[in-house]
Structure 1
Amino acid sequence: MKLKVPLEQFLRQKLIKWAENRYTYVAYFTDNNIHYPYSGFQDQLMAGNQSILLHDIPSSGKEVVGIISYDFKNRIEDLGSNNKSIINHPDQLFFLPEIKISISDDVLIIDHPSADILYQEILHTPLPTHPILLDEIKALTNKEQYLQNVDQIKQRIIEGDVYELNYCIAFESDIKEIAPTSLFLKLMEASPMPFSAYFKANDQVLVCASPERFIKRQKSKIIAQPIKGTIRRGSTPLEDQKYKNSLLNSEKERSENLMIVDLMRNDLSKISSTGSVSVEELFGIYSFRHVHQMISTISAVLNENCTIEEVFQNTFPMGSMTGAPKIKSMELIDHYENFKRGWFSGTVGYLDKDGNFDFNVIIRSIFIDFSSSKIMFAVGSAITFDSVPEQEYEECLLKVRSILEVLNA
């Protein structure tokens, strides 16, 4: 039986809360109706109780949902992570959905033998009424430390250790009261993005408003879309266009973007047919609620019988969140940052029964852990030879603006 009902905002929250009450693992994905090359996430909720490892995911025949921590890199390369964990995220967590509810054109579609009963359960699920109450939000790195570290990273670039390094800072707070489903909808209103996700596993929750795709498989085609280049929106159409043109013509931003494009071309070449890697769009400018972003699209023909595990082993972590060259960048990230990234700058996504998949870059996100009553978020930017430390710091504050607005509200 298939039931279709209009999806009001309150029903979206009830749907997620209903799934949380029934299942250990819950994932909700949405593109927020934003146009994006190769489209954003499919609007859908999936939930289940059975976990599975990346190694055991079949090439086809099953739908799978999962999340991979940035620190999964230590299983791929001879690397470590000696910094403190604000939240102790698992390196990988995949699950097999027992139920899937799709949304199309703001219509909820329940394709299930007991669709009427499930809809009534969803409709009568009570919503949390308590507000967001946190202790003071603390930055783990103050501005002075940040500026000093950027200067030191620039010196490492001058010495030839790296060409570009994605340097991030983290924020944390203790939770008094919080309703993650409500927080998710507030963040979607404040910062709608094409790769947004809500992911809950046991006591840990991801509230994600990501603008960036990591990697997508569409039949035999593999697609990566790194973001490098950010500028604020203008307050008038004229000012907005001025900022947009400034980003497009910035030699610094183009240089950052091109370095990561080259890195991703190299990564894709390891799993693709010889000569099939191509740059479909270079330096595309896309506009979101608060920022313009520079996005490039690289594609290739995936090797026959290449598994998703092999894809991740050869492309993860994404170059936009490490730098170039990748391994040296990851070593320096662990040196200059003072926190373990965990799910931040990792990836969350889904696979369909035909083996197609879509995974984002976990940025512009809030992480909640009820077992430790902690909340954290992080933000960063690409440091290059041309970077001005004060401007990089301002870029970080711009990227984290929506999160701070929602949490302080």
Structure 2
Amino acid sequence: MTTTRAEFVAAAAAGPVVTVIRSVFVDSVSPVALYSHITEGRPGTFLLESAEQGGIWSRYSFVGLSAWGCLTERDNSSVWLDHGLSEERAFGGAVPTARLDALDALYARWASPAPTELPPLTSGLVGYLGWDTVRELEDLPDAPVDESGVPAQSLLFVRDLLVFDHRTSLLHVATAVLVTDDLDQLWESAQSRLDSITASLRTALPLAPLAPPETTAPNPALRTEHKKFLDSVLRGHHFIRDGDVFQVVISQRFDTEVTASSTDVYRMLRALNPSPYMYLLNLESADGTRFAVVGSSPEALVKVNNGRVFSHPIAGSRPRGETPEHDAQFAEGLLADAKERAEHLMLVDLARNDLSRVCTPGTVEVTEFMNVERFSHIMHLVSSVEGDLAPGRTPIDVFRATFPAGTLSGAPKPRALEIIDELEPAGRGVYGGVVGYIGFGGDSDLAIAIRTAVLVGTTASVQSGAGIVADSVPQSEYDETVHKAAAPLRAIAAANALRPALD
């Protein structure tokens, strides 16, 4: 897959961004080890992986080594952080104030054809859009106080990237070149960058062995008192009885101390709860505050691949059983639960309606319905909804049509969002937003930011919610939030307790 000069010249004539790739054989070091070795966890870097059901790792892992810049925000206005690409060149002028307008402008300026034989991510934007992005999509009253300490969005314009192909043991070393008239200089500069990155691979070693932690029992502080959460569920019942909504999702935040590095938290989460969307983002806000987002989300908001749009609603849950027999009983109970089935059906209908806004009429269909999918601590009911992306639509149009996920808001969405603002004591921050990538070639893959920890200084925060319907039992909904938060909280506790295997 190594890019030839002729291929580079042809691609430069077709779009403003060209990814130059050099493929090497690597089978002795993991993506996590390479990430740790090359980036040392510095801001502007990331690691994206994926595990299918049963903990089988998917074909590609992505290690982001550097970025041209970062689209973030401060005081609800867009900010461009220049890491080698000026604001003037990035946007053709000043960055638009509204965050989604800035995202539209950046995508429109740098959209470029992506060869189908390349991995799904080689150039584009990687990061997150937080929950409060919804305020650019819906007319909502003033937001609750944001206590997260991190910006409402942070999207890296990827420059240097490692793509692990676990099927072939090839490592694709990639650098994104911004096209100018001097193709000779650009080609030589790209080769020099690839030389430097490839040389750094030679000194990469497996991570040092660690002793299994003696204790992994988390002891978080709850942002919402137990009784107040139960009262919120009862107030949710009131809104449902009055006909405001059919369902509303109420969440709570768990705060805990973190002394481990973000990489070690990710390592523990990767071991404890392999999920379809695994991510480690090390970032920096406009004021220089460093923070990390570490997660293992089971749920996509939406995916665009080769002009096809995919949504996978998840609603309905049970804890995993201690034995295969107990596990099967929990699954049978989940499938037989009328309340869970009704909630799930509502969200499947919502996904169909959302996709219909950006897909070619008549192409939206439910391809899988109410399957039980199992994860380390929890099982869910999952369906799949698909459609063909309408001509002229972009991945950002798809995001606008589908965000926020009905599984994180409730339905109907506009009134549910107002009720969430009324019932929750603080802003959601990253929770309930999306994490993933928007490729300049037109593909995107955005996970819902759940089962996710936000690390700022020595504090880690995990948030989880429960879908409240007419017959919800308050204590059961509280217990559901605890189950959903268990994996990242256990990972943090385990990472804090890690010690070298050989002292």
Q: Same fold (TM over 0.5)?
A: yes
Q: 1:394 aligns with which of 464, 468, 479?
A: 479
SS of aligned partner of 1:268: helix
Aligned to 1:70: 131
Deviation at 1:4, TM superposition (A): 2.2
Deviates more, 1:322-331 or 1:112-121: 112-121
Q: Does 1:45 align with 2:132?
A: no
Find 1:187's aligned residue among 252, 269, 291.
Answer: 269
Q: What residue number does 1:54 align with?
A: 103
CA contact (8 A) 2:41 2:263 kept: no
SS in 2 for 1:387: coil
| C-alpha distance in structure 2 between counterparts of 1:261 and 1:40, whole Å | 26
- Structure-2 change in CA distance of 1:125 and 1:2 (3 Å): same
What CA deviation, in whole Å up to 9, does each residue of 1:329-362 have, x standing for no partner?
A: 0110011111211111110111335311111011
What is the match of residue 492 of structure 2? 407
Superposed CA deviations along residues 229-251 of structure 1, whole A, max 9, x for unmatched, are 11011122221111111111211
Is 1:146 aligned with 2:229? yes
Distance verdict in 2 for CA 1:242–1:331, change over 3 Å: same
Counterpart for residue 48 of structure 2: 29
Pairwise CA distance, 1:125: 8.9
Question: 1:212–1:226: 8 Å Cα contact kept in structure 2?
Answer: yes
- Larger mean Cα displacement after TM superposition, 116-125 or 45-54: 116-125
Q: Residue 82 of structure 1 corresponds to which residue in structure 2?
A: 143
Q: Distance in 2 between matches of 1:281 and 1:351?
A: 25
Instruction: Say yes or no: does 1:6 pair with 2:27.
Output: yes
Q: Residue 34 of structure 1 contacts residue 40 of structure 1 at CA under 8 Å; is this kept in 2? A: no
What whole-Å deviation, never above 9, does each CA across 1:251-302 have from its counterpart, x for those lacking one? 1111111111111111111111112211111211111122211111111111
> Structure 2: how far apart are the matches of 1:357 and 1:127?
36
Which whole-Å CA distance do the structure 2 matches of 1:250 and 1:269 have between them?
Answer: 29
Q: How far 1:23 moved relative to its partner?
A: 5.7
CA contact (8 A) 1:379 1:399 kept: yes
Is contact 2:251–2:465 with CA below 8 Å preserved after alignment? yes
Query: Does 2:438 align with 1:376?
Result: no
> What secondary structure is seen at the aligned counterpart in 2 of 1:73?
helix
Amino acid at match of 1:137: P
- Tell me the distance in 2 between the aligned counterparts of 1:241 and 1:218: 34
Report SS of the residue matched to 2:146: coil
Verify the 8 A CA contact 1:228 1:320 in the aligned structure 2. yes
Cα displacement string for residues 167-206 of structure 1 (whole angstroms, at most 9, x for unaligned residues):
100022455x231100111011111111111111121210
TM-score where L is the length of structure 1: 0.90
Structure 2 length as normaliser, TM-score? Answer: 0.74
Structure number with greater Rg is 2
Per the TM alignment, residue 7 of structure 1 is displaced from its structure 2 partner at its CA by 5.1
Taking the aligned partners of 1:4 and 1:263, their CA distance within structure 2 comes to 45
Asked if the contact 1:2/1:115 (under 8 Å) is kept, the reply is no
Query: Using the alignment, how far apart are the partners of 1:108 and 1:209 within structure 2?
Result: 25
Q: Structure 2 unaligned runs (5+)? A: 1-21, 72-101, 114-122, 174-193, 285-289, 495-503
Report how many residues are paired. 401
Structure 1 unaligned regions, length at least 5:
none
Amino acid in the other structure paired with 1:72: T
1:227 positional shift: 0.7
Alpha carbons 1:7, 1:108 under 8 Å: kept: no
